[in-house]
Amino acid sequence: MEDQAVCCYRHPQRETGISCTRCERPICPECMISASVGFHCPECVSGRVSAGSGASAAGPPPGAARPRTVAGGTITSDPRLITKILLAVNIAIWLAVLSAGDRLVNDLDLVGRAYDPGVGQIVGVAEGQWWRLVTSVFLHQQLMHIAFNMLSLWWIGGPLEAALGRARFIVLYLLSGLGGSALSYLLAAQNQPSLGASGAIFGLLGATAVLMRRLNYDMRPVIALLALNLLFTFTWSGIAWQAHVGGLVVGTVVAYGMVHAPREKRALVQRGTCALMLLAIVAVVWIRTMQLTG
């Protein structure tokens, strides 16, 4: 029998997979309040839930199911941990670029196949330098570039990580970044370098839209933000639109599989969706490599 959807007790129109760790009533992201362990609902925080109301003031009974996010992830005391780590990694690499200069950028950016006068040879993904598909996602040069991307990561990534859980969030981020790199590799000129976390950020933006639709939130703010970013993508010069579109598509598909997976087959559907996207990325990279080296 299909599980009945669980909705927030304060917002019955919003489905959720998160529960208060004290009274165990379902709560949506808007209602959850961070506690030392998990999240509490506003009534528990204000002390209005009594022992006679059917919920224990001391916490959930022994053996109670551990609260889960809407995607089935574990509720943690720091719902922004992975977001903070990603911020730290991006900033650390940016500082390293400031110290090392163009040589480090030339070794880590995404380029299909091009002659590098610094080393006197042809370099690129087509030459077996597969790491560029990943390292370019964490690479920035200009201050405004990394500032915009990291602010976007903080604003979008934190709530998304809290809603999905740490493992699902990092998988979503990495697959979105790889999706952006793969489409850039496929469609951009082979000697055109690209770098930045924009593909991953667009993936998080697409995932946010999917999540808000799943929870019956007002979609107008995220649609407006997405439309504005796409407008900048296709009207400003010097922007690798391929990375933005690739990240957006992959992030949207992965998030859909994560938050719409039926509970009885949640792990299978979520892993299958991620595996399918990874295979698609590998196929795109292989096709482009054959074009450049065949």
What are the tens digits of pLDDT across the range 178-221? 999 999 999 999 999 999 999 999 999 999 999 999 888 888 88
pTM reported for the whole predicted model: 0.79
pLDDT for 51 equals 39
Residue 138 has pLDDT above 90, yes or no: yes
The more confident residue out of 144 and 6 is: 144
pLDDT for 17 equals 73
pLDDT for 35 equals 66
pLDDT for 176 equals 97
* Surface-to-core class of residue 143, CB atoms within 10 Å of its CB (0-12 exposed, 13-18 middle, 19+ buried): exposed
Residue 7 has pLDDT above 50, yes or no: yes
Q: Give which of 48, 176, 12 is closest to 184, Cα–Cα.
A: 176
Catalytic residues: 198, 244
Residues above pLDDT 90, as percent of the chain: 55
**Other CB atoms within 10 A of residue 107 CB:** 17
**What are the CA-CA distances from residue 69 to residues 40, 101, 280 (Å)?**
13, 42, 28
| Positive or negative: CA dihedral 246, 251, 252, 254 | positive
pLDDT for 128 equals 93
**What are the CA-CA distances from residue 242 to residues 55, 282, 289 (Å)?**
52, 16, 17
Q: State the average pLDDT over residues 253-278.
A: 94
pLDDT for 37 equals 55
pLDDT tens digits along 82-131: 999 999 999 999 999 999 878 899 999 999 999 988 888 999 999 999 99
Query: Which stretches of the chain are DSSP H helices?
Result: 42-46, 81-100, 102-108, 132-135, 143-164, 166-187, 198-214, 220-235, 241-259, 266-293
pLDDT for 6 equals 75
In whole numbers, what is the pLDDT of the chain averaged over residues? 86
pLDDT tens digits along 256-268: 999 999 988 999 9
State how far the Cα of 164 lies from the Cα of 104, in Å rounded to an integer.
Answer: 34
pLDDT tens digits along 42-61: 877 776 444 344 444 444 44
State how far the Cα of 121 lies from the Cα of 139, in Å rounded to an integer.
Answer: 22
Residue 237 has pLDDT above 90, yes or no: no
Q: Give which of 136, 262, 153, 167 is closest to 208, Cα–Cα.
A: 153
Q: State the average pLDDT over residues 158-187.
A: 95
The more confident residue out of 8 and 250 is: 250
Residue 13 has pLDDT above 50, yes or no: yes
User: Tokens at residue 217, please?
Assistant: 């939130």
pLDDT for 156 equals 93
Q: Give which of 11, 34, 9 is closest to 21, Cα–Cα.
A: 34
State how far the Cα of 145 lies from the Cα of 94, in Å rounded to an integer.
Answer: 10
The size of the chain, in residues, is 294
User: Tokens at residue 174, please?
Assistant: 């990495």
Amino acid making up residue 2: E
Q: Which of 32-41, 43-52, 229-238, 268-277 shows the lowest per-residue confidence on average (mean pLDDT)?
A: 43-52
Judged by DSSP in three states, 65 sits in: coil
Residues above pLDDT 70, as percent of the chain: 89
State how far the Cα of 133 lies from the Cα of 282, in Å rounded to an integer.
Answer: 11
